[in-house]
Structure 1
Amino acid sequence: MKHLIIILTFIAFTGLVALISWYKTKEENLSTKEGYFLAGRGLTGLVIAGSLEMTNLSTEQLVGQAGQSYSTNMGAMSWSVNASIALLALALIFLPKYLKAGITTIPEFLEVRFDRTTKQIISFLFLLGYMLTYLPTVLYSGALAFNQIFHLDQLFGITSYQSIAILCVAIGVIGSIYAIFGGLKAVAVSDTVNGVGLLIGGLLIPILSICILGNGSFLAGIQDFITNVPAEKFNAVNPANALPPMIPWPVLFLGMLFNNLFYWCTNQSIIQRTLAAKNLAQAQRGAVFTAFLKLLDPFFITICGLLAYRFFGDGLANSDLAYPSLITTVVPNWLLGIIAAVLFGAILSSFNSALNSCVTLYTLDFHRPLFNQTASDAHLVSVGKRVGTGLAIVSICVAPFVSNAPSGLYDFLQECFGFYSMPILAIVLVGFYTKRVPACAPKITLVVHVILYSISKFLPLNVHYLYVLSVLFPVDLALMLLIGKLKPRATDFILEDSKAVDLTPWKYVKPAALTCFILMLCVYALFSPIGLAR
């Protein structure tokens, strides 16, 4: 009976998301390029915010951040809280220029600013990162976490590997339906509904945990939590010489900030939602709303690691079991199915968003310019669906075999993104703010950065890798500017207004951004030696 209730509530919530997504998109014209890849440029701020939050949140964040705080302290929250600054930069600096150019992909802007070769190099790097690492890893890690939490292998009497393989297929097929057949609008709508569920369901876990600690009293539970968890666990401000998985405080203003600017302001799977906004005002609302949402992450993700420490002490064999163990301990059976559906939605969101971005990058940046320059919109959409189906099948087939990879492979692959993240950010910023830097500058910078980053991997540097990015990003910027001085382009670059959308900014964008920044400082103060870590 217990398992039946879990399954029925899971199916009900997942079905509700699918029904709402279908209803909201059934009148959409998906035969045009903008209709399929950019949701007809009709997304509103709330939909953008929900989709951005859910695209970012997956099992890596839900399980990983809680596991990191369980084994260290609240410093893991910086990946979310620090992202608010990047999102405010997206709203105030990047979006006005992106929407003015009327682009569909980030590499498309680089073609406008530099040349087609630069665009295709960056598109290839994005596609390589998504195809070879992100899509299969999202499927595998999502299936692994889902199985850890709900023990589907025990429920159905199968091996753990079989359970993970089945879950990879389920996540891949359902995610593909949204991304391939519904286009960006279906992805964004489903993300928004799942985002509401994640926010409610995610907050319920710490609330239920605290109530259990207080024998039914929330206030008594908070008192128990603060009293019985060591004060240093609440600290999010770590020493400057801290090593991974801890985060040194200086990198909050350097390497981590640069990394977040790359992720939130130039990463195609993130940016595509904002490029699909009705106008600049709605795009800015979406970015700023997401910045506020990131300030909530510590209170329903990172804090769960400390709550797990209160419940289990040092008794967990693996820190990544902190979040799953807490859920199965505090969530009642009747609610477990809904929590399962919410987590399933978070996993789906990361997969279908990345898949939709891969399809967009290939179709618009490679297929049309290289193979069929006169292709109609309907043909491009058809090609996109076929490519998406192929990518999904490959990802589903590869995902289960990630279990055979060496321990820590995912962390290694994530760190490998440093090979191109900083130069891409530097190239976009230089493209914005200079007029004479030539097309050869980004190519030279990419090569030099890869060489320097590779050298850093072989040097006996006992420093956090974010310090390496802290140095290399300014080097990338300086190199591009130096090339611009030594070999400037013949004419000034002028960014023309494409008239794609209304560029009137949101009138409250600056006050809202300032409020968000102040709240971010308050969150850091709460989890510091002047707050709960006294």
Structure 2
Amino acid sequence: MTTPLSFLAFTLFAAFLTYIITRRDEKGSSDGFFLGGRSLTFPVIAGSLLLTNLSTEQMVGLNGSAFKDGLAVMAWEVVAVIALVVMALFFLPRFLKAGITTVPQFLENRFNKSTQTLVNMVFLVAYAVILIPLILYSGALGLSDMLDLKNLTGITESKIIFGNEVPPDTIILWGTVFMIGIMGSLYSRFGGLKTLAVLDTINGIGLLIGGFMIAWFALNKVSDGGGIAEGFKVLKEANPDRLNSIGTKQTSVPFGTLFTGVALLNLFYWCTNQQIIQRTFGASSLAEGQKGVLLTGLLKLLGPIYLVLPGIVAYHLFAKDGISNDKAYGTLVREVLPPHLTGFFAAVMVGAILSSFNAALNSTSALFSIGLYHHVINPKGSEQQMVKAAKVFVVSVAIAGMFAAPLLASQPSIFAYLQKMNAIYFIPIFAVVVVGMLHSRVPAKAAFWAVVLGLATLLSKYFFIPGADEKLDELFGHNFHFLGFVFVSLVVFMVAWGAIAPRATPWKLETGTPIDMTPWKNAKWASLVLIILVIAIYASFASFGG
């Protein structure tokens, strides 16, 4: 009983402490509900950014990729630091100066309402169809393996449901998905962004402690109690090819892709992805926002310890058992942690799942209420009506996500599926935002059609033209190189349009924020240190012989 009790104890503690801290916060206005009243300080921003990112699609999915490919997949963590530096120095000052709540709002400011509406709808569909179901599915899968829910619940045999025989794994998956979905919906329904951000910070501390615990116990198991240094030595001697930061052409992220698709996906994710950067829009000042973003970068450098190393250890311990990539992490946690610590870690994992789920719901509600409800459905509606509409919409999306999540069980790799689906909308939106910021004469029609062409190209590659996916990957050497080609093509398309038929007058970003826009004086020095550390980490584990 120690596992369920420790799980319940930490979950209740985090919820109670969050309530005490945020119970008097204003949540009735759009700024209060979606941006925490623009009052977030750097520790809360960093904790919230980190935990919004660190859900089970990362913990389970990235460790699953490490189980398959080794240390090379740390690219998703380490290269993210460069993206966070770009966010702090380039994107964040412009977003905060504009005083926006959503990325599509910036595109309306820069281009026009049609571009805003298109991108807003793309975000809504992507979050509802891809992101939310994936968070629920990966969360349920990870908890099921970690807590051994089959034996804990006693559901070990198939049951007849609606006239069909349903296996126990499927019953547990559906039940866990709905448990997470209902809990997350309640948090999102009754709390605003600050409530979620504070809860994220509390759970983030627990998750870091728990993540390092997994690495500690896992390496001790490898060394049979001889310590973590001995465990790492054994791991390196037994699997030297799996501790190479460069990887090979056969890995999911060959080194060359760090400069094309991997870089672009990281830049979109950390610089223009509404689900993530909405936390930074709530900063109390530019300096607080920059410190929060760069602190997140420092914490991301520790990511390989708990997001990659356990997957490599799991390969060392369990590869002979024939387990799937995405079951590696949950199996490792169950095998190496004592029961009372397993319950604690499951609790912070639930916090991580709820964080990503709530971030997706909060961002979806902001996109819906500000970009669709206020623009199209009820332009004269009050802020209270906007927030109310957002809360109703969010419950509908959450319910739809709960029913869609278990259908992802057929995917061979959670993380590979996530990156593939994300690329469809990441690349065209990021191209439009970058060109919009850097080129003041590109007209609105160029941006609108760039999004349409980008979506059409990537959807055709993956779904609509048989054989196109494999042929284009072969032609470009890797899917991520093709994504780089699409991005450059869209940028050239918009710049050429701007040269042939430019805007009548150059666009200028107007100040629309009430917060202090004085930059953090140490932002550039901190950014330089982070970039040096990224290079050092890669160099320390690099071997170009593969």
Identify the TM-score tier after normalising by the shorter chain.
over 0.9
Partner of 1:177: 186
| Equivalent in 504, 510, 523 of residue 490 of structure 1 | 504
Helix, strand or coil at the partner of 1:73 = helix
Contact residue 326 and residue 414 of structure 2 kept, 8 A? no
Partner of 1:383: 389
The code of the aligned residue for 1:503 comes to: M
Query: TM-score, normalising length from structure 1?
Result: 0.94
C-alpha distance in 2, partners of 1:504/1:470?
Answer: 34
| Equivalent in 188, 198, 204 of residue 207 of structure 2 | 198
Partner of 1:231: 240
C-alpha distance in 1, partners of 2:504/2:422?
Answer: 34
Listed as ranges, the gaps of 5+ residues in structure 2 are 156-167
Partner of 1:480: 494
Partner of 2:64: 67
| Shift of residue 382, structure 1, vs aligned partner | 1.2
| Shift of residue 215, structure 1, vs aligned partner | 4.2
C-alpha distance in 2, partners of 1:220/1:420?
Answer: 43
1:316 maps onto 2:325 in alignment:
no
C-alpha distance in 2, partners of 1:517/1:367?
Answer: 42
1:168 maps onto 2:177 in alignment:
yes
Partner of 1:296: 302
Partner of 2:165: none
> What is the aligned-residue identity percentage?
38
C-alpha distance in 2, partners of 1:452/1:140?
Answer: 28
The code of the aligned residue for 1:315 comes to: D
C-alpha distance in 2, partners of 1:436/1:167?
Answer: 51
| Shift of residue 9, structure 1, vs aligned partner | 0.4
| Shift of residue 202, structure 1, vs aligned partner | 0.3
C-alpha distance in 1, partners of 2:377/2:414?
Answer: 36
Partner of 1:422: 427
C-alpha distance in 2, partners of 1:22/1:74?
Answer: 40
Distance 1:219 1:356, change over 3 A: closer
Partner of 1:442: 447
C-alpha distance in 2, partners of 1:255/1:395?
Answer: 28
C-alpha distance in 1, partners of 2:60/2:343?
Answer: 18
Contact residue 60 and residue 138 of structure 2 kept, 8 A? no
Contact residue 411 and residue 417 of structure 2 kept, 8 A? no
| Shift of residue 220, structure 1, vs aligned partner | 5.2
Listed as ranges, the gaps of 5+ residues in structure 1 are none
| Shift of residue 333, structure 1, vs aligned partner | 1.4
Which shows bigger deviation, 209-218 or 373-382? Answer: 209-218
Partner of 1:140: 137
Q: How does 1:322-361 map to 2 (within 5 A)?
A: 322-361=328-367
Partner of 1:106: 103
Contact residue 422 and residue 476 of structure 1 kept, 8 A? no
| Shift of residue 169, structure 1, vs aligned partner | 1.5
Partner of 1:189: 198
Please provide the CA RMSD for this pair.
1.9
Q: How does 1:511-526 map to 2 (within 5 A)?
A: 511-526=525-540
The code of the aligned residue for 1:309 comes to: Y
Deviations 1:18-58 (A, max 9, x none): 01111121110111110111100011111111111111112
Distance 1:274 1:328, change over 3 A: same
Contact residue 255 and residue 468 of structure 1 kept, 8 A? yes
Q: How does 1:201-280 map to 2 (within 5 A)?
A: 201-218=210-227, 221-222=230-231, 224-239=233-248, 242-243=249-250, 245-280=251-286
Contact residue 70 and residue 319 of structure 1 kept, 8 A? yes
| Shift of residue 449, structure 1, vs aligned partner | 2.2
| Shift of residue 213, structure 1, vs aligned partner | 3.4
Partner of 1:465: 479
| Equivalent in 49, 58, 66 of residue 52 of structure 1 | 49
Distance 1:484 1:11, change over 3 A: same
C-alpha distance in 2, partners of 1:84/1:93?
Answer: 14
Contact residue 11 and residue 347 of structure 2 kept, 8 A? yes
The code of the aligned residue for 1:425 comes to: F
Contact residue 428 and residue 455 of structure 2 kept, 8 A? no
C-alpha distance in 1, partners of 2:411/2:328?
Answer: 22
The code of the aligned residue for 2:520 comes to: W
| Shift of residue 345, structure 1, vs aligned partner | 1.2
Distance 1:407 1:203, change over 3 A: closer
Helix, strand or coil at the partner of 1:499 = coil
C-alpha distance in 2, partners of 1:409/1:192?
Answer: 25
Contact residue 225 and residue 310 of structure 1 kept, 8 A? no
Query: TM-score, normalising length from structure 2?
Result: 0.92
